[in-house]
C-alpha cells in the first residue's frame, strides 16, 4: 500500500510537509499509463511537440522564484544556486524544444532502392534522480526524452521530491497530455527498482551512487534495457607552478564547497606542484575561511547545510583522525551544518583522498612534474570532471588529453553547459547527458530499405 514520507528542512532539521510514497501497484499503474499514451505522444507533429515543450519552459520561467524557494527549503541549496537550477531546467527545455523538428535521419545511397535511417523513440523512459541536484538532473533526463517522443516516469529522491512534483504539475498546465510525464515519489528499492524490472520501461537514466548504479546496470541486462548512468566522482584540480596562482586559489573553494560539496563534479582532490605548494596553501587559507556558510535563503550565502543528519555523520567520519590544514566556519544552529574543511593527504591510500566524501572536504597533495600530476589524477576508479591551471598552452592540451575524465576545464571550473555533452569515464558512468549526444541516446536507430 502507498504511504507517506516526511519532508525535512535540512537548515532546521524540522519536518515541514509530507508526500506520498508509491507502492508497487501504483508504480505499475503509472508505467502502464505511460506505455498506453506513448503511441499518441510519438505521433504528435514535431512542431506541436516543440510548442508544448516551449510552453513548459515558459511556465518554469514564470514560476522560477517559487521553484527556487522550494529547493532552498527542501534541499538547503543557497538561493543563488536554486535560482540557477530552476533557470537551467527552463534552458534545457528550451534547448531540446528545438529537437523534434531537427531530429532528422539519413538517406544513404544504395543500389536497387531507397534506404532511410530513422531515429525512433524508445517508449517509456524511467528517470531516477538523486537528492543533490533535484531540478537540473531531472531536466537533463526528461527534456531530451520527451523531445525525442518518449513518455517519462520520474522518481525523485525520497529526501527531495518537492520541485519534481511541482514540475510535473507545470507540465500538465503547459498542455502535455496526461500520462506523458509522471512524477512517482517513493523509495528507490520500490519505485526505482520497478523501472529496472518492468518490461514496458525501455530505458533507465540513473544518477546517484556507483554502488546502486552497478546494480541497475546488472538488473537492466536481463532485458537488454538501455541505461544512462551518472555516478560518483573524485575529480582533481591540478595547479601547475606557472598558473595564475591567485586566481586558482580564489576559485578553488567554490569548486569543491559549492552545494556543500554534494556535487559529483566537486574538485575534491587538489594537486599542487611542489615548488609552489606552500605559497598556494597560504593563498587558499583566507579564501576557505572567507567562504560564507549561512542560512541558504540569505542572498550572501555561498553554502548551506548538508542534506541529512546521516550524511553529516558520514562526512564527519572522513575528517575524524585526519590531518586538518585549516577550516572555515558554519552556523551552530539546529540543522545539518558542516564547515568547509581542507585536509592534508599523506598518502594516496588515505580514505579521504580515495573515496567520494560528497561533503565540503578538500584533500590536498603535492606533485613533482607533469607526468606525476597525470599519474595521480588518474589514480582513481572515477573519471567525471576536473580542472587544470597553467599558462602553458601545450601543457594544457597534453594534460587535458591524458587525464581520464569525461569533462575537463582549463583555467576554470566549468563542468556543465546544456549544449555540450556531460558524463563520466571509468566508473563515473556510462553515456552522456545534455547536448546532442543525450538526444540520440533516447532513440533507437531503424534502417528501412525500399526496393524500386
Ligand atoms: P543512491 O542511493 O544512489 O540514490 C540515488 C537515487 O537512486 C535515489 O532516488 C534513490 O532512491 C534511488 N535508489 C536507491 N536504491 C535504488 C535501487 N535499488 N534501485 C533503483 N533506485 C534506487 O544515493 P544516495 O544514498 O542518495 O547517496 C549515497 C552516495 O551516493 C552519496 O554520498 C554520494 O557519494 C553518491 N551520490 C552521487 C550522486 C551523483 S550526482 N553522482 C548523487 C547522489 C549521491 P531513494 O529516494 O529511496 O534514496
Could you tell me which residues are beta bridge partners of residue 409? 387
Q: Which ligand 1 atom minimizes the distance to the CA of 213?
A: 3
d(C-alpha 409, C-alpha 393), whole Å: 13
pLDDT at 2 (0 to 100):
81
Q: Is the CB of 223 under 6 A from ligand 1?
A: no
Residue 205 Cβ contacting ligand 1 at under 6 Å: no
Distance in angstroms (rounded) separating the CA atoms of residues 38 and 96: 19
C-alpha cell of residue 414: 566549468
| Residues paired with 151 in a beta bridge | 124
Where helices occur in 76-192 by DSSP H, the ranges are 79-97, 134-147, 162-174
Ligand 1 and 212: CB distance under 6 A: yes
pLDDT tens, residue order, the chain (452 aa): 689 999 999 999 999 999 999 999 999 999 999 999 999 999 999 999 999 999 999 999 999 999 999 999 999 999 999 999 999 999 999 999 999 999 999 999 999 999 999 999 999 999 999 999 999 999 999 999 999 999 999 999 999 999 999 999 999 999 999 999 999 999 999 999 999 999 999 999 999 999 999 999 999 999 999 999 999 999 999 999 999 999 999 999 999 999 999 999 999 999 999 999 999 999 999 999 999 999 999 999 999 999 999 999 999 999 999 999 999 999 998 999 999 999 999 999 999 999 999 999 999 999 999 999 999 999 999 999 999 999 999 999 999 999 999 999 999 999 999 999 999 999 999 999 999 999 999 999 999 999 99
Instruction: Locate all alpha helices (DSSP H) within 360-402, ordered by sequence.
Output: 370-378, 393-402
Number of the ligand 1 atom closest to the C-alpha atom of 233: 41
Whose CA is closest to atom 22 on ligand 1? 188
Other residues' Cβ atoms within 10 Å of the Cβ of residue 226: 18
**306 Cα: distance to centroid of ligand 1 (angstroms):** 15
Q: What is the pLDDT of residue 178?
A: 98
For ligand 1, say whether the CB of 373 is within 6 Å of any of its atoms: no
Q: Is 263 in the pocket of ligand 1 (CB under 6 A)?
A: no
pLDDT score for 321: 96
Taking a C-beta distance cutoff of 8 angstroms, is the pair 237, 271 a contact? Answer: yes
Residues labelled as active-site residues: 230, 264
CB-CB contact of 177 with 213 (8 Å):
no
189 lines ligand 1 (CB under 6 A): yes
Which DSSP state fits 365?
E
Ligand 1 pocket check for 424: Cβ under 6 Å: no
Q: Whose Cα sits closest to atom 32 in ligand 1?
A: 358
Burial of residue 261 (CB within 10 Å: 0-12, 13-18, 19+) is buried
Ligand 1 centre distance from Cα of residue 63 (Å): 27
Which conformational region is residue 335 in: left (phi greater than 0), alpha (psi within -120 to 50 degrees), or beta? left
Which residue's CA lies nearest to atom 6 of ligand 1?
130
How many angstroms is it from 231 CA to the middle of ligand 1? 9
CB 288 within 8 A of CB 329: no
User: Ligand 1 centre and the CA of 397: distance in Å?
Assistant: 35
DSSP 134: H
Predicted-complex ipTM score: 0.96
CA–CA distance, 264 with 416 (Å, rounded to integer) = 11
Does ligand 1 lie within 6 Å of residue 204's CB atom?
no
Distances (CA, A) of 29 to 33, 153, 166, 194, 262: 6, 11, 21, 11, 33
Hey, CA dihedral for 255, 260, 265, 271, is it positive or negative? positive
Q: Tell me which of 187, 208, 359 to substitute to probe ligand 1's pocket, judged by most ligand atoms within 8 Å of the beta carbon.
A: 208
| Cα gap 175→111, rounded to integer Å | 45
Amino acid at each position: 500500500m502507498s504511504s507517506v514520507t516526511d519532508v525535512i528542512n535540512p537548515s532546521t532539521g524540522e519536518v515541514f510537509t509530507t508526500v506520498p510514497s508509491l507502492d508497487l501497484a501504483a508504480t505499475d499503474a503509472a508505467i502502464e499509463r505511460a506505455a498506453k499514451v506513448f503511441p499518441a505522444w510519438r505521433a504528435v507533429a514535431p512542431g506541436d511537440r516543440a510548442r508544448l515543450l516551449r510552453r513548459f519552459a515558459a511556465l518554469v520561467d514564470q514560476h522560477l522564484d517559487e521553484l527556487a524557494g522550494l529547493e532552498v527549503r527542501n534541499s538547503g541549496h543557497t538561493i543563488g544556486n536554486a535560482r540557477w537550477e530552476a533557470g537551467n531546467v527552463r534552458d534545457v527545455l528550451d534547448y531540446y524544444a528545438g529537437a523534434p523538428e531537427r531530429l532528422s535521419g539519413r538517406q544513404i545511397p544504395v543500389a536497387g532502392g531507397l534506404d532511410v535511417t530513422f531515429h525512433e523513440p524508445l517508449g517509456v523512459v524511467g528517470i531516477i534522480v538523486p537528492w543533490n541536484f533535484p531540478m537540473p538532473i531531472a531536466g537533463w533526463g526528461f527534456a531530451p526524452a520527451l523531445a525525442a517522443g518518449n513518455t517519462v516516469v520520474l522518481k525523485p529522491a525520497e529526501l527531495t521530491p518537492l520541485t519534481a512534483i511541482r514540475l510535473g504539475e507545470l507540465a500538465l498546465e503547459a498542455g502535455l497530455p496526461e500520462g506523458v510525464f509522471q512524477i512517482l515519489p517513493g523509495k528507490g528499492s520500490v519505485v526505482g527498482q520497478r523501472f529496472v524490472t518492468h518490461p514496458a520501461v525501455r530505458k533507465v537514466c540513473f544518477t546517484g551512487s556507483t554502488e546502486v548504479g552497478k546494480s541497475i546496470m546488472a538488473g537492466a541486462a536481463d532485458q537488454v534495457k538501455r541505461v544512462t548512468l551518472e555516478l560518483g566522482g573524485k575529480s582533481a584540480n591540478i595547479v601547475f607552478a606557472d598558473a595564475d596562482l591567485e586566481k586558482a586559489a580564489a576559485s578553488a573553494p567554490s569548486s569543491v564547497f559549492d552545494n556543500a560539496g554534494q556535487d559529483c563534479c566537486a574538485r575534491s582532490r587538489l594537486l599542487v606542484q611542489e615548488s609552489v605548494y606552500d605559497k598556494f596553501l597560504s593563498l587558499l587559507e583566507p579564501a576557505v575561511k572567507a567562504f560564507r556558510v549561512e542560512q541558504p535563503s540569505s542572498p550572501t550565502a555561498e553554502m548551506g547545510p548538508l542534506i541529512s543528519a546521516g550524511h553529516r555523520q558520514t562526512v564527519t567520519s572522513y575528517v575524524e583522525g585526519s590531518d586538518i590544514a585549516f577550516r572555515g566556519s558554519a552556523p551552530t544552529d539546529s540543522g545539518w551544518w558542516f564547515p568547509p574543511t581542507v585536509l592534508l593527504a599523506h598518502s594516496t591510500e588515505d580514505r579521504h583522498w580515495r573515496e567520494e566524501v560528497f561533503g565540503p572536504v578538500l584533500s590536498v597533495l603535492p606533485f613533482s612534474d607533469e607526468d606525476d600530476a597525470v599519474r595521480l589524477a588518474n589514480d582513481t576508479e572515477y573519471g567525471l570532471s576536473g580542472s587544470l591551471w597553467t599558462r602553458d598552452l601545450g601543457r594544457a592540451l597534453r594534460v587535458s588529453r591524458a587525464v581520464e575524465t569525461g569533462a575537463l576545464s582549463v583555467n576554470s571550473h566549468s563542468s556543465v553547459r546544456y549544449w555540450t555533452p556531460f558524463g563520466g569515464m571509468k566508473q563515473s558512468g556510462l553515456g552522456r547527458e545534455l547536448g546532442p549526444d543525450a538526444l540520440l541516446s533516447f532513440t533507437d536507430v531503424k534502417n528501412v530499405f525500399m526496393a524500386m
